Amino acid sequence: MSHTLYEANAQRVQRCELAVPGSSPEMFEKALKSGVDFVFLDLEDAVAPDDKLQARKNVIQAINDLDWKGNGITLSVRINGLDTQYMVRDVVDLVEQAGAKIDTLLIPKVGVYGDVYMVDAMLTQLEMQEGLKNKIGIECLIETALGMANVEDIAKQGAIGGRVEALHFGVADYAASNRARTVNIGGLNPDYPGDQWHAAISRMTVACRAYGLRPIDGPFGDIKDPEGYKAGARRAAALGCEGKWAIHPSQIALANEVFTPPAAEVEKAKRILVALQEAAAQGKGAAALDGRLIDAASERMANNIVRAAEAIAAKSK
């Protein structure tokens, strides 16, 4: 292994992240009781321009009035983009009025690390001003050609800054930015021989894993196609993503199913670790299990599975 290693800024279970429009307060209580790992209250794309100010008030009230942490939910807010007149007041009002109860802010359409630095600097000053004991994390949406072209630098500088926790693949805006032809949000174009999102998700995931961040897959637009959702989630999981968005509560169980290691997989991982421990005691660096060679790389993969299962189990207690 290299001597240069980037540890995670924060460890969280994020199998599914439920998007909830800030302009729809009737959905807040349902989200609270949904059993999802993460919720982001949305001030950006899901809110019409005329509703932006009221949505911000709704979100601040919901953060303060509802017991998100007590219901096992990590709470995020998607702020408006840096190119809008809403972003500054989003950050200031959220932190001044509800900062102690916010886990992360989700920045949309991050194109360069400077976008992240601006929000990071604002959070640092506001946390000092308010005397907050918690450090609000940052998550970044990679959903433009510019963002993907700079994803390695965004991940690296974000990790060094100590506040960035995760990158999310925003497939809809990414498709628009690249002028890609799509059938539905997150779905596959039958004219493309395979998965046209594979390269983008893989590139983002590699950047995340190199610098200690969580890679999260974005939305799947057809809520009436659960098999399509699960297929997309499985492809993302195969590339290393830790979770996926839900735009409807019906998608939560689908994501949890895909991103929770199956019991048989966890059991096999534990057997691999035991077999390698026994081999090491005999001075061997490799072993055989079920007729297959296992070695140090097998141990690292097995540890990933066991740790994920333990984190999910701990959250469920």
Residues forming a β-bridge with 139: 106, 166
Find the farthest-apart pair of alpha carbons in the chain and give their distance in angstroms, rounded. 70
CB within 8 A of 57, min separation 6: which ones? none
Q: How far apart are CA 285 and CA 280, in angstroms?
A: 6
Q: How far apart are CA 269 and CA 300, in angstroms?
A: 10
Residue whose pair of structure tokens reads 């805006």 in the numeric block:
173
Q: How far apart are CA 34 and CA 243, in angstroms?
A: 16
User: Is 222 labeled as ligand-binding?
Assistant: no
Q: Of 286, 76, 273, whose CA–CA distance to 165 is shortest? A: 76
Enter the tokens of residue 82: 């840096």
**DSSP labels, 258-269:** HHSPPHHHHHHH
Q: What's the gap between Cα 275 and its chain centre?
A: 33
Whether the Cβ atoms of residue 17 and residue 76 lie closer than 8 Å to each other: yes
Count Cα neighbours of 112 within 13 Å in the Cβ-side half-sphere. Answer: 3
Tell which phi-psi region holds residue 109, choosing left (phi > 0), alpha (psi between -120 and 50) or beta. left
Whether the Cβ atoms of residue 59 and residue 89 lie closer than 8 Å to each other: no
Whether the Cβ atoms of residue 227 and residue 254 lie closer than 8 Å to each other: no
Alpha helices by DSSP H, the chain = 28-32, 52-65, 87-98, 113-130, 145-149, 151-161, 171-177, 198-210, 226-239, 252-259, 263-281, 296-316
User: Is 96 labeled as ligand-binding?
Assistant: no
User: Is 143 labeled as ligand-binding?
Assistant: yes
Binding-site positions for Mg(2+) read 143, 173
The annotated binding site for substrate is made up of 78, 143
List binding-site positions: 78, 143, 173
